[in-house]
Amino acid sequence: MGVAIFLFSLAATFEWGEFQGWGNIPLIFVGLGVVSFSLLVWWRQDMSFGMHGEIFEPKSTGAPFQNIDIRKVAMWMFLMSEMMVFTALFSTYMRYRLGIPNCKTVFHSGEWVEGTAVTCFEPAGHLIASSWFHIAPGAINTFALIVSSFTIVQALRYAKKKDIDEDVRRRKVTRYLGTTWFLAIVFLTLKMVEWFLGFPLPEFLHEFNHGDSTIKSLYAEGYLINADNYQHHAFDTEYIEKHPEDYSIPEDSALYAMMQDGSHQGGKMFANIQVSATTFYVTTGTHGAHVLGGIVGLTYMTLKAARGGYTPDNAVSIEYFGLYWHFVDLVWVLVFPFFYLY
Amino acid sequence: MAEKTVLGMDLYWLNFYGLMILTLIEVLAVGANLDPVAESLGTEEKVITLWILTIIAIPKFIMIAAIFMHLYGDEDSGILTMTALFPAFFILIMVLFVGLTHPDAASSLPDWCRPGTYGL
Amino acid sequence: MRSRTKGAVIALVAVTAMLAIPSAQSLPGGIAGVQQAGCNCHGAVPSDSVVPSLEGLPESYNYSETYDITVSFEGGPSQEGNVNQGGFHLWASKGSLAVNDATAQLYNENEVGHTEAGNDQVSWTLTWTAPATDTNVDFILHVNSVNGNADGAGGGTSGDMWNKLAITLGGPVEVLDEADPFVVLGVLIIVTATLLAFTLVFVFYRKDPEAFDWDNFAPWLADWLTTTDHKKIGTLYFIAGLFFLGVGGIMAMIIRIQLAVPGNDFLTQEQYNQFFTLHGTTMIFLAAMPMINGFANWMIPLQLGAADLALPRINAMSFWLQPFAALLIFTGVFSGHGADTGWTGYAPYSVSEGAHYGTTMWAAGQIMLVASSTLTGINFLTTMAVMRAPGMGWMQMPLFSWSILVANVMLFLSIPAFGVGLIQVYLDRVIGTAFYDIAAGGDPLLWSHLFWYFGHPEVYVVILPSFGIISEVLATSSRRSVFGYRSMVYALAGIGVVAFIVYGHHMFTSGMSPTLRFVTMLTTMLVAVPTGIKIFNWLMTMHGGSLVYRTHTLWALGFLITFTLGGISGMFFPSIAMDTHLHESYFVVAHFHYVLVGGTVFGFFAGIYYWWPKATGKMLSEKLGVLHFLTAFVSYNALFWPMHRLGVWGMTRRHHTYFVTTEEALGSLPMEAAGWNMFITVSGFIFFFSNFIMVFNMIVSSVRGEDAPDDPWGGWSFEWMTSSPPPDHTLYKLDDGSWGLPTLKDANEHIANEPGWLSSWFQRLMVEDEDKGDKGEVTH
Amino acid sequence: MSVMTPIFAGLWEHYIFWSLVVGAIAFGWLFHHSFWFTSKDGESLPNVDEIKLGVFPKHNDDMRLEVAWTVLPFILIVWLTYYSWGPLDAMWTSADGGMHGSECEEGQFSNNTMDSSGAISSECYHVIEITGQQWFWSFDCLELSTSICDTGTESMEVYGSVPVLSLKKGETYLATMTSIDVTHAPWFQHLGTKEDTLPGQQTTLWLPISDSMTDESMVLCAEYCGDAHSVMAAKLITHN
């Protein structure tokens, strides 16, 4: 027991310790390796708890939390501090979104000249919500998370059901935990697809996507942390003339008037959108990290379930993980509309 | 607590379908062209989408928290909701003090909500 | 046993490796590369067949005298007839070099090299004028002898050889090299570390002299390193806390040496910046917070009558995050590139290139501290919420537990904001995200908001445990129960809540929107009220009691005096008009040192003297204790009170030096400031050394102190029921003599074992009443 | 006390007075109790509240007293806030139509007057610019005549070459400030005011130069800005 903790704490610090700047990537992987090794050591004992039925679930004695499991209270305390982390990220996003003028308004106000970058806030939504296919990865992710919330609850239900025999319960719980694990993996891969890879479109959908065959990822669109002269064809007057059906400059905007009387010769607007990209990537990245944490937990629980570890009286650990998982889903319910769609 | 059934269907299935439908509405709201609606209400499309998204996000939030996280109706949910709501006050302060006080935040928020400057 | 020692060895190797990496990484190519830019491009290794020589330099120069020096070399592959035979590069640390023919060229005042024309000879003549002051001058000469195959075989440098010569020249008066402050800091830290290691081995020896050999030292040490028992972790926290209190103290002393005299140059500007940054960070995060956790780890389970904390393994982990975080925070200090952004690390500077490389490590280290504090917060809140002894309602907890509870609630709700801020700074510096990149619209105020949203609750987190200790100590030593227990608890909760809406007063002059300044002005005015209530309650506790003068009572009274002074001097800041005058001046430094050192550290000393017998089973000697109190209290006030005056005069914080107005020169401070600063430095040293009396007292008591009874001071709370030192698995002597968990009886007849006011309110609010039946009404 | 403009001197005196009052009460009470209620070593220690080990001690509280020392400090605080409202208003008057009127036209003088409490009001004000840079200040008088505002440099044997701003007594100036790289803050020592200069944003600071202003005073940097933060000084000369 002592050794496990010692390794665990050293590993955690080693992993943190290796967290140094300028990407000495191999060291970080060594650190992560040690962490996973120590997690295994810790779990191996945990497994032993569950195996020979000894229950390690002290109930709370003090009011007001009469007879609620101690670790459930601890989990809720942990969620409270996680709420604060995401509030801090949301406040940063809100502050910058309200503070820095929106790129579209700057474009329509005409206060830009081709060639010099304008600092403005380009919400990811402007890109993602522009066409159905861009929204697809985000939408599927949301469905994936909701389904995974649902399956984790089912897993808990079967684990707690008294009246079914041992083997049926083992199969059912493992299946449900397995689906949750799989959906979490799907979530992360789709996020990677959306960020970096982009995906090819099947033949018959081409004409919906004004002709080009693939959906470009955010990376390809140039929506990057260090994008300080970012162009988007919605901010390009020639492009707008050629594709009136896609974009139009509203008649009442100053740019329209300046274009009419020739005082503004149009062209491409360069935008420095580093801040908007940073807030987007860091917030969704932190959320992704929490999902990753969930996956690590899930792998252990699925393995344990596969070996029939969950009996009605020690099923509470699924419930605690369920709380964490629903919290992660809850955060996504807030992140998805405000970061992706708006 | 897992055996409750509401309106004949099992509570969790019901909750699951509800959430799926709401998300679908959100995606549709963004995808669909809301210009005619925007003209009728005199604001541009972006504000409309913002309002729709918030209106839908709140019930989703409540549904997940209440049903999936057993914050309602179980014997220990009383106090746990209290713990869950405890940081609300601190979140509110953070949002108000940090989120909305960008010096040159020319936003359409009503003046009482966004701290103004003394003409400095 | 085999695997355990192997594990310990691997761990040691890992730690040393980690130690080596940062310093190797952050020592950019060594100092040598900069001055001695000799063209050692000819061949990698200096070869001694080439003999460089530098004639014409006297034994010791006299002021601004010019000397003709000749640079020459023999040996190596160069011969007469070649196209070019060799070159040289001379660097002189002081004085100025000059060239007197076309064969050599002057790069700058102290660097000379050969020219194209002068490339085919073996000796060159130059002149050097000595400096006008007393200093040691270093000369470093690089020569290379070339075999002349300039036709390009191997780039014309294959087969060439070079060598180097270094001479130091003293002036008329012998000048000692001034001590490099980092060397001083390094030596002192290593001395304290070895002292610590020695006491560790000594304690092990004292435990059982016969078994004093390696194979039971390893398991004993391993047991300590891997313990999850709250008492052992408490002691570990204490050792870490006191060690870093010493390290922070050393830094404070070096800062004071620098400020003793106006225009002092013991520390250069850069080094001073690093010292005050690390002084602040070490004192708050590595000394005060671990000590709080030390007290809490020791006392909370005992006071609540719980066997151990709710999550023992996480408790061990949150301790072990701290020393490694300290390692990270200190990276780069010894190579001169430590963090130099102030403990607040304001945004544009902390992410600009100007800040040293150490700042990234400083941020990474503090992220680890954030993780550790969050885990401890969760641990303590859960323990207090769920593991109280039967019969102990919320309103029957001892005040120390209450103070730790409120402190931890504040801590673990505010620290994520700091964590997110730190991660933003870290990512900005490491992978170039643009959170605070001004050009891209980044807003520097975001960092100060996030930081102070955490900063102010943090300073209350640091002071509240001392409030708890003082309530316990004063009540017991005046033989009375604390006056107004309920109002004390509400005052604690009041401070906990108000702390969050008050942080704006740190940013009154920082360009924050005026409405926010006005709102925080009003709320800051409010914050004095709960603290005032507490002070008056303490004073009232002493009323009618019979004060027993032990050292911890002296420290508690000392706390009352200094903390009240600090509180009053703090009242000057809420009004913006006053704050514009006093912001960033030494008045602020005086205020927070009065509250921090006078408040928290005096409270910790009181706590140490009060609970030492319970923790170690040995009594501390009263004589040494009183001596420690007198010297510390007097020198403490002499140290920090004049700072108020300096602040009003206009001495600014974080300035490595200051200048006084003399007859001929206008300076920023009146003449007497120099005198006061020297006075402060002297009393600072007395205060620093007075704390060693306590350390000596601790050692003497653990070696020869007489055994302590279970309840030496007559306290009522549970920790005095166990034996001192308490058995490994905390057990309590129940009144029928058996051992087990205690149940709290209550002398206040009317609220015996029915839910307290708070919990009945919860029940009425939350759960439907159908099965609750009778609910005892609370009568006052 | 250091040289302070009358507004702060008045406020400072007031705060000192009240802190002495509160200090006297608290310390008087503390010293009295700590000497009056000491236990005489010989006699057995009277246990007024019958404190027994392991029993939660009897409540010892008195509602009247506790309410008293909650309400009284609250009133004191409300009074202190109200009292410091005046100087605050003087410091934060709005730029158009406040106590300093609006911007002076060509050749118009603000000739400010100071009332009893030290608050300065003037007919109009001149706008000057201050820019903070990593480790030196630069003042810009825009197109004010050199008699009203002039800049220059002077070498002080202590700070090296230091920018100098010379302003006219009796004039009021509104300094619009910005910074090029990191946050700085000019602290006009004898005016007792400071305001951060933020990169990317503009902040303002009132500089009401009264007739009784000292001729020479220092301007230091009051927001940490890196290596030479302590040598980043300037000199303010006021002439009439």
| Other Cβ atoms closer than 10 A to C616 | 17
Chain C neighbors (3+ CB pairs < 8 Å): A, B, D
Q: What domain range includes position B81? A: 77-120
| Catalytic choice (C376, C531, C541, C724) | C531
Both B58 and B91 in one domain: the answer is no
Closest alpha carbon to A291 in A196, A193, A194, A187: A187
Note whether C564 contacts D74, CB cutoff 8 Å.
no
Indicate if B97 and B118 belong to the same structural domain: yes
| Comparison of pLDDT for C513 and C176, the residue scoring more | C513
Higher pLDDT, A115 or C526: C526
Do B48 and B13 belong to one domain?
yes
Most B CBs within 10 A among A97, A130, A142, A332, hence the mutation to make, goes to: A142
Q: Decide if pLDDT at A271 tops 70.
A: yes
Per the DSSP assignment, residues forming a β-bridge with D218 are D235
Contacts of A330 in chain B (CB under 8 A): 61, 64-65, 69
Are residues A68 and B64, on separate chains, in Cβ contact within 8 Å? no
C668 is annotated as an active-site residue: no
Q: What's the CA gap between D225 and D233, in Å, rounded?
A: 12
Residue from C277, C335, C359, C372 carrying the catalytic annotation: C372
Which one of D85, D89, D91, D94 would you mutate to disrupt binding with B, by most B Cβ within 10 Å of its Cβ? D94
In this structure, are residues C368 and C321 in contact, taking their beta carbons and an 8 Å threshold?
Answer: yes
Distances (CA, A) of C610 to C538, C615, C622, C717, D26: 17, 10, 11, 13, 25
Mean of the per-residue pLDDT values for chain C?
76
Q: At what angle do helices D6-36 and D63-83 cross, to 10 degrees?
A: 160
D87-96 confidence digits (pLDDT tens): 887 777 766 6
pLDDT digits 0-9 by tens, A306-337: 776 666 666 677 788 888 888 888 888 887 77
How far is B23 from chain A, CA to nearest CA, in Å?
A: 8
**Rounded-to-integer distance, Cα C414 and Cα C408, Å:** 10
Report the number of distinct structural domains present in chain B: 2
DSSP state of C669: B
Q: Is C331 a catalytic residue?
A: no
Neighbours of A41 (CB within 10 A): 17
- Reported as a single tens digit per residue, the pLDDT across C189-219 is 787 788 778 777 777 777 776 767 777 777 7
Please list every residue in chain B whose beta carbon sits closer than 8 Å to the beta carbon of residue A132.
31
Q: Which of residues 55-114 of B touch D (CB under 8 A)?
A: 103-104
pLDDT tens, C620-666? 888 888 899 999 999 898 888 888 888 888 788 888 777 777 766 67
Whether C373 is catalytic: yes
Instruction: Report the greatest alpha carbon distance in chain D.
Output: 87
Q: Which residues contact D34 (CB under 8 A, 6 or more apart)?
A: C542, C547, C557
Cβ atoms of residues D50 and C748 within 8 Å: no
Q: In D, residues 50-69, which contact C (CB 8 Å cutoff)? A: 50-62, 65-66, 69
Q: What is the mean pLDDT of residues D114-126?
A: 79
Q: Are strands D124-133 and D172-179 parallel, antiparallel or unpaired?
A: parallel
Active-site annotation holder among C120, C229, C340, C458: C458
Asked if B46 and B90 sit in the same domain, the reply is no
Closest CA to C109 of C117, C118, C98: C98
Question: Do B94 and B41 fall into the same domain?
Answer: no
| pLDDT tens string A69-107 | 677 778 888 888 888 888 888 888 888 887 777 777 777
A neighbour chains, 3+ CB pairs within 8 Å? B, C
- Crossing angle of helices C312-329 and A2-17, in 10° steps, is 30
Residue C685 has pLDDT above 70, yes or no: yes
**What confidence tier does C774 reach under pLDDT thresholds 50, 70, 90?**
very low
Q: Do the strands D186-188 and D216-221 form a parallel or antiparallel pair, or are they unpaired?
A: antiparallel
Partner residue facing D94 (CB), from B103, B104, B118: B118
pLDDT of residue C321: 77
Concatenate the DSSP letters of all residues of C698-767 into one string. HHHHHHHPPBPPS-TT---SGGGTS-SSPPSS--EE-TTS-EE----EESSGGGTTS--HHHHHHHHHHS
Contact B89 C766 (CB under 8 A): no
Cβ-nearest to B87 among C413, C450, C763: C413
- Note whether B10 and B67 are same-domain residues: yes
D93 → chain B, closest CA residue: B118
The rounded percent of chain C whose pLDDT value lies above 70 is 80
Q: At what angle do helices C551-570 and C622-649 cross, to 10 degrees?
A: 10
Q: Per residue, what are the HEC states of chain D?
A: CCCCCHHHHHHHHHHHHHHHHHHHHHHHHHHHHHHHCECCCCCCCCCCCCCCCCEECCCECCHHHHHHHHHHHHHHHHHHHHHCHHHHHHHCCCCCCECCEEECCCCCCCCCEECCCCCEECCEEEEEEEEEECCEEEEECCCCCCCCEEEEEEEECCCEEEEEEEEECCCEEEEEEEECCCCECEEECCCCEECCECECCCEEEEEECCCCCCCEEEEEECCCCCCCCCCCCEEEEEEC
Q: Dump the DSSP string for C558-569.
A: HHHHHHHHHHHH
C320:A282 CB<8 A: no
Looking at B40, B59, B74, the residue that finishes a domain is B74
> Angle CA(A8)–CA(A10)–CA(A16) in degrees, nearest 5?
100
Q: Which residues pair with D55 in a beta bridge?
A: C745
d(Cα C540, Cα C532) in Å, to the nearest integer?
Answer: 12
**Residue A205 C-alpha, separation from nearest chain C C-alpha, in angstroms:** 36
Q: Partners for B (CB, 8 Å, 3+ pairs)?
A: A, C, D
**Residue of chain C nearest A1, judged by CA positions:** C226
Catalytic residue among C298, C343, C402, C426: C343
Distance of CA B43 to the CA centre of its chain: 21
* CA triple B54-B60-B62, angle to 5 deg: 105
Are the C-beta atoms of residues C548 and C557 closer than 8 Å to each other?
no
Element (H, E) at A104: helix A103-109
> Is residue C308 annotated as a catalytic residue, yes or no?
yes
For residue D200, the chain C residue with the least C-alpha distance is C438
Q: Judge if ipTM > 0.90.
A: no
Band of pLDDT at residue A208, cut at 50, 70 and 90: low
Catalytic choice (C308, C340, C472, C579): C308
User: How many contacts does B have with D, using Cβ atoms within 8 A?
Assistant: 13
Label residue A249 by pLDDT band (50, 70, 90): confident
8 Å CB contact between D213 and D190? yes
Cβ <8 Å between D95 and B104 = no
Helix (H) or strand (E) holding C628: helix C622-649
E strand or H helix that includes residue A47: helix A25-51
Is there a contact between A275 and C437 if contact means CB atoms under 8 Å apart? yes
Residues of chain C found within 8 Å of residue B101, distances taken between Cβ atoms: 445, 449, 512-513, 516
Give the integer Cα–Cα distance in Å for C89 and C144: 9
Query: What confidence tens digit (pLDDT) does each residue in C95-152 have?
Result: 788 877 777 777 777 778 777 776 777 777 888 887 776 677 778 887 777 766 554 4
For chain A, the helix, strand and coil percentages under 3-state DSSP, each to the nearest 5: 70, 5, 30
Hey, is C513 helix, strand or coil?
Answer: coil
Q: In A34-182, which ranges are E strands?
A: 118-119
Same domain, yes or no, for B30 and B88? no
DSSP per-residue letters across C147-177: ---TTTGGGGTTT-EEEEEEEEEB-SS--PP
Any chain C CB within 8 A of the CB of D194? yes
Query: Of the residues B74, B92, B107, which one is the last residue of a structural domain?
Result: B74
Chain A residue with CA closest to C18: the answer is: A17
Q: What subunits make at least 3 CB pairs under 8 angstroms with D?
A: B, C
**Site from B24, B26, B109 to mutate, A interface, most A CB atoms within 10 angstroms:** B26
pLDDT of residue A303: 78
pLDDT computed for residue B21 by the predictor: 83
Please give the Cα distance from A340 to C646 (Å, whole number).
55
3-class DSSP assignment, residue C259? helix
Each residue of C283-330: pLDDT tens digit? 888 899 999 998 998 888 888 877 777 777 778 778 877 877 787 777
Sign of CA dihedral B109, B111, B113, B118: positive
pLDDT tens-digit series, residues C22-56: 333 222 322 333 334 444 445 556 677 778 888 87
Please state, in angstroms and rounded to a whole number, the distance separating the CA atoms of residues D110 and C271: 46
Q: Which of C381, C417, C429 sits opposite A21 (nearest CB)?
A: C429
pLDDT > 80? residue D188 = yes
Give D1 to chain B, closest Cα distance, Å.
31
Burial (0-12, 13-18, 19+ Cβ within 10 Å), C16? exposed
Which of A147-151, B36-40, C406-410, D133-137 is least confident? B36-40
Torsion region of C325: left, alpha or beta (phi above 0 gives left; psi -120 to 50 gives alpha) = alpha
Phi-psi group of C95: left, alpha or beta (phi > 0 → left; psi -120 to 50 → alpha; rest → beta): left
C765 lies within 8 A of chain B by CB: yes
Q: Which of A34, C569, A318 has the alpha carbon at shortest distance from D22? A: C569
Q: Which of residues 500-529 of C touch B (CB under 8 A)?
A: 500-501, 503-504, 511-516, 519
Angle at D121 between CA D120 and CA D123, to 5 degrees: 145
Contact yes or no for A326 and B95 at CB 8 A: no
Higher-scoring residue by pLDDT: B14, C244? C244
Residue of C nearest to B98 (CA): C449
Which 8-state DSSP code applies to residue C310? S
pLDDT interval class at A222 (50, 70, 90):
low
Verify that B33 and B64 share a domain, yes or no.
Answer: yes
Distance from CA of C372 to the nearest CA of B (A): 20
- C653 belongs to the catalytic site: yes
A337 preceded by a cis bond (ω within 30 of 0): no
Task: Read off the pLDDT of residues C227-244 as tens digits, 9 standing for 90 and up.
Answer: 778 888 888 898 888 888
- The pLDDT score that the predictor gives to residue C467 is 92
Hey, are the CB atoms on A334 and B12 less than 8 Å from each other? no
| Distance between CA atoms of residues B5 and B13, nearest Å | 10
Over range A138-159, report the average pLDDT: 82
Residue C152's pLDDT is: 44
- Taking the C-alpha atoms of residue A142 and residue B15, their distance in angstroms, rounded to an integer, is 15
CB contacts, 8 Å: A157 with chain B: 2, 12
Contacts of residue A320, Cβ cutoff 8 Å, sequence gap at least 6: A71, A72, A75
Q: Measured between CB atoms, does D44 come within 8 Å of chain C?
A: no
Q: Which of residues 123-142 of D touch C (CB under 8 A)?
A: 134
Do B42 and B81 sit in the same domain of this protein? no
The catalytically annotated residue of C89, C232, C534, C593 is C534
Q: Do B45 and B100 fall within a single domain?
A: no
Shared-domain flag, residues B68 and B9: yes
Residues B9 and B51 grouped into a single domain: yes
